[in-house]
Structure 1
Amino acid sequence: MTGKLRKPADFLLLMLALVVIWQALHWVAGDIAITSPAATLAKLGQMLHTPKFWSDIAETGRAFLFALLISVFGGVALGALLGINRLAATVSEPILVAAYSLPKVTLYPLVLLIFGLGLPAKVAFGAMHGLIPVTIVTMNALLNLKPVLLRTARVMRLSPLQSLTTLLLPAVLPEIFSGLRLGFSLSLVGVLIGEMFASQRGLGFVIMNAMNLSDVATIMAVAVLLTGFALLASGALGLIDRRIHR
């Protein structure tokens, strides 16, 4: 019971310390560099009362949802395909790692050329960030399976598809879910970056427009909103992850 109580208390202490540091930085740098916590929350409240801001949130939410679905289902499917064939995994892993190490921003003109401006380009850019990590995690999880499971599948005369769906993927579900948490974060980052470069809507566009106008209050308000969403989502995914690992 004490351990369960300690975690929320530690989290609250950490948040309080961050707010204190934030306020101290505001006192040192002033409103030109960073707005105070109170002013930032007031600005966020003001923005949340405007329909335009809610339409930007909805635009980012749609793009993020589609990008996340592609990253998750596409990454698990591709990782499973490669993971059940050791030769294919050995050949493809360096290629995947090299592809992921490329700066994604350099590929954005190609994304625009293929998908044009709008939602498809943002979804593609978000999926580019999340797909490969999920693929690599799934593939390595299957490669590191205990050999006894593979022998069990052969003894039971399961087809490759039956082995994958009823034995192999359930066995590596905790590792796959850990990869999904990574894909969640990276897909969101990819969508926001995509909105910053070529979009007229979305939270990424709001941040970029505020940067051009030197509107620090708006930048900080959107950053707080995104941070709050990320913390809540990470906490929920963390609880599910711990339950799965049990």
Structure 2
Amino acid sequence: MSADVKEVEDAPQVVPIERSFWGRYGARISVWAARVVLVAVVLLVWQWAADRWFDVIFTSRPSEIWDRLVEWQQDGILWSNTWVTIQEIIYGFAVGAAAGVLSGFVLASATLLYRVLDPFVMALYSIPKVALAPLFIVWFGIGMHMKVLLAAATVFFLVFLNTVAGVREVDRGLIDAVRLMGGGRWHVTLKVVLPASMTGVLTGLKVAIPYALIGAVIGELVASNRGLGYLINDAAAQFDTAGVFATLVVLSVIAAVLNLLVGLLDRRLSRWKPLEARR
């Protein structure tokens, strides 16, 4: 018997494990079922407790919120204003995330430059973004550009700081190993720094999603004549609690969908990780 045949026989054999449908998806189904039950219980208790435990004028009812959503949908008010806000969120998130990732990689790679700029970046990050809204109105007016840039400014710092953290935490041993094998700066960046720092980048993107929404809505609340923030202002001015809650429901759905998309991207880019690290 040759050495090659002996090595093949001694090698560990991979035996595929056949799992049932419930074995593969049971945990996920249980989690989603628990979420649905929790939401249903909260809505039922809210519906029953309205005008029994608290004044319905201040809290409305789930049935009234649903009626308001249906009414706005039929009038076209809901979709037209929702689309405006979605555009502001997407554009603001894209601009802020792209600028944050690019700046994070560049500054994290230039150690001296990062040390010089670090206190100034943190000072700008500490400024409440709502305080920028009046300034952006003066510069860009009350149109969509102001909301997009306010959302981008909010997203930028979160993505930037997480990207910098991801790049600076790359294992130096891996970088040295690539260099010892003759790899240049470009090889180190593509083969080591970029994949290893992806966790920090994706964390920044996940954290920044709700803040993109917050930035856009804050801009609409400060000055706007369309968008979901405008609907909130209009409903609050008429003391229409159902309208305010209906708008908040739409904003929650938008945030959930955006988080789902980033989660799918995370799982696709994290296939190289162990299964436990992907959860």
Asked whether the two chains share a fold, i.e. TM above 0.5, the reply is yes
Provide closer, same or farther for how the CA distance between residues 162 and 72 of structure 1 changes in structure 2, counting only shifts above 3 A: farther
Partners of 2:166 and 2:196 within 8 A in 1: no
Letter in 2 for 1:158: G
Three-state SS of the structure 2 residue aligned to 1:49 is helix
Q: Which of these residues, 125, 133, 153, is aligned with residue 158 of structure 2?
A: 133
1:48 matched to 2:70: no
Name the residue aligned to 2:9. none
Q: 1:76-115 counterparts in 2 under 5 A?
A: 76-115=101-140
Partners of 1:71 and 1:183 within 8 A in 2: no
Distance of 2:137 and 2:117 partners within structure 1 = 27
User: Where does the alignment leave 5 or more consecutive residues of structure 1 unmatched?
Assistant: none
Provide closer, same or farther for how the CA distance between residues 240 and 157 of structure 1 changes in structure 2, counting only shifts above 3 A: closer
Query: C-alpha displacement at 1:152, in angstroms?
Result: 3.5
Query: C-alpha displacement at 1:71, in angstroms?
Result: 1.5
Letter in 1 for 2:243: T
Partners of 2:69 and 2:78 within 8 A in 1: no
Distance of 1:176 and 1:202 partners within structure 2 = 29
Query: C-alpha displacement at 1:80, in angstroms?
Result: 0.6
Q: More deviation in 163-172 or 209-218?
A: 163-172
Three-state SS of the structure 1 residue aligned to 2:50 is helix
Instruction: Write out per-residue CA displacement over residues 8-44 of structure 1, whole angstroms, 9 at most, x where no aligned residue.
Output: 1222233224324533553322331011111111111
Provide closer, same or farther for how the CA distance between residues 91 and 234 of structure 1 changes in structure 2, counting only shifts above 3 A: same
Q: Which of these residues, 169, 175, 183, is aligned with residue 150 of structure 1?
A: 175
Query: C-alpha displacement at 1:149, in angstroms?
Result: 2.6
Provide closer, same or farther for how the CA distance between residues 104 and 24 of structure 1 changes in structure 2, counting only shifts above 3 A: farther
TM-score (norm 2): 0.80
Name the residue aligned to 1:18. 42
Distance of 1:120 and 1:35 partners within structure 2 = 34
Provide closer, same or farther for how the CA distance between residues 15 and 92 of structure 1 changes in structure 2, counting only shifts above 3 A: farther
Bigger CA radius of gyration: 2
Three-state SS of the structure 2 residue aligned to 1:32 is helix
Query: C-alpha displacement at 1:3, in angstroms?
Result: 2.1
Letter in 2 for 1:197: V
Partners of 2:104 and 2:160 within 8 A in 1: yes
Provide closer, same or farther for how the CA distance between residues 95 and 49 of structure 1 changes in structure 2, counting only shifts above 3 A: same
Partners of 1:35 and 1:216 within 8 A in 2: yes
Partners of 1:96 and 1:136 within 8 A in 2: no
Name the residue aligned to 2:33. 9
Provide closer, same or farther for how the CA distance between residues 61 and 232 of structure 1 changes in structure 2, counting only shifts above 3 A: closer
Letter in 1 for 2:205: L
Partners of 1:149 and 1:168 within 8 A in 2: no
Structure number with the bigger relative contact order (C-alpha 8 A, sep ≥ 6) is 1
Instruction: Write out per-residue CA displacement over residues 77-110 of structure 1, whole angstroms, 9 at most, x where no aligned residue.
Output: 0111111123333343443333222122222221
Q: CA RMSD in A?
A: 2.1
Q: Which of these residues, 26, 32, 46, is aligned with residue 57 of structure 2?
A: 32
Distance of 2:188 and 2:140 partners within structure 1 = 37
Q: More deviation in 103-112 or 67-76?
A: 103-112
Letter in 2 for 1:220: F
Q: 1:144-183 counterparts in 2 under 5 A?
A: 144-155=169-180, 156-159=182-185, 161-183=186-208
**Paired-residue identity, %:** 27
Distance of 1:22 and 1:90 partners within structure 2 = 52
